[in-house]
Structure formats: C-alpha cells, structure tokens
C-alpha cells in the first residue's frame, strides 16, 4: 500500500477522453479479482457510463477522477435520477489508494455538487459485502433504507439502497 507521505498531491478533476474506458475496465478487473463478479458486472458499468455520456448535463451531473502525478487513483459519478434526486454511481479506488481518505473526498464532492445543483436527496445502490464503501457512505451521513437479496454477476448478493437527505 502507498503511504500517505509517499503519495504526491491528489486532485479531483472532471472526466476527459480515456477516463470513462478506464472506469469500466478497472471495475471489471477489480471486482473480478476481489469479489468474483463476472463480466455481467463490467457490462452493467459500461451501460451506466454510456447513459452518462449520452444524456450528460454538466449543470446537474458530474464525474470526478482522483489523480496523482498523472495517474488515476479513483472515480465517482453523480447522475440525475429525477429533478429532485441524484444518484451516486460507480465509486472505485485503486488498491494502492485505499485508506488515504480519497474515497471520502470523492463522496463529499458528490454531496456538495448535489446540494449546489438543487437536488433534495442523494441515493445509491451498493452490495452488503462492500464494507469499505459502505463505511464511507455511512460516515458521510447516508442511511441504509432497504436491502434485498438478488443473484447478479454470477453470485448471490444482498443489494442495499442508501439515501442522504440534502
């Protein structure tokens, strides 16, 4: 793991060409390696990214890339679900960037942007086995509103729906 003192300045920036393909690829690779999710998960991510690009509204939606020294370390998306509700999507961190507060910074960026864009609520869907992400959401003020078992990505999972009233 990269120590905090060894990591150059981490900045959050908007997406640019090449970033979205990286998001899809890293989700596919990391979730396969760490959780055993099959290629259907990568396809889900690709669909989310495609919809983001096709309907992108810069006033109401955003993708942040966490970067240090020109290297991508993580990403998160905020997308419009309805005029009053935004959805946090596709939070990901490189293993070397975990535990450094970068995930929290990405989620806080979503919350701030959602408030400034006039949303009333921020929602997200995650899996019960993603403990680190769930801890970030809880620390940021999100509350789990329901959960349900499902079979997806070649596994039996428990999906969780979380919300933050803005």
Q: How many CA atoms lie within 13 A of 75 on its CB side?
A: 23
**pLDDT averaged over every residue in the chain:** 95
User: Using 50, 70 and 90 to split pLDDT, how confident is the model at 141?
Assistant: very high
Give domain limits for the chain. 8-165
Whether 7 has a pLDDT exceeding 70, the answer reads: no
DSSP string, 72-131: EEEEEEEEESSSSEEEEEEEEE-GGGTTSSHHHHHHHHHHHHHHHTT-SEEEEEEETT-H
State the pTM of this model.
0.93
| Model confidence pLDDT, tens digit, residues 112-134 | 999 999 999 999 999 999 999 99
Q: What pLDDT shows up at residue 3?
A: 47
Point out which residues pair with 88 in neighbouring strands. 78
**What is d(CA 100, CA 15) in angstroms, rounded to the nearest whole number?**
21
Is residue 103 within 8 Å of 132, Cβ to Cβ?
Answer: yes
pLDDT of 1 reads: 42
User: What percent of the chain shows pLDDT beyond 90?
Assistant: 95
> Can you name the CATH fold of 8-165?
Aminopeptidase (3.40.630)
Q: Tell me the two tokens of residue 70.
A: 């020109």
3-state secondary structure of 132: helix
């Amino acid at each position: 793991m990269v120590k905090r003192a060894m990591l150059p300045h981490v900045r959050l920036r908007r997406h640019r060409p090449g970033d979205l393909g990286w998001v899809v690829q890293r989700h596919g690779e990391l979730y396969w390696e760490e959780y055993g999710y099959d290629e259907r998960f990568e396809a889900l991510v690709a669909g989310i990214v495609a919809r983001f690009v096709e309907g992108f509204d810069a006033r109401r939606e955003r993708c942040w890339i966490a970067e240090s020294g020109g290297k991508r370390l993580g990403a998160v998306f905020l997308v419009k679900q309805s005029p009053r509700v935004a959805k946090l999507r596709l939070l990901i961190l490189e293993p070397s960037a975990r535990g450094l507060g970068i995930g929290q910074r990405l989620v806080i960026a979503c919350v701030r942007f959602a408030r400034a864009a006039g949303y009333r609520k921020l929602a997200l869907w995650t899996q019960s086995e993603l403990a680190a992400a769930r801890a970030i959401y809880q620390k940021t003020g999100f509350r789990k509103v329901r959960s349900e078992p499902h079979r997806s990505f070649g596994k039996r999972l428990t999906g969780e729906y979380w919300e933050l009233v803005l």
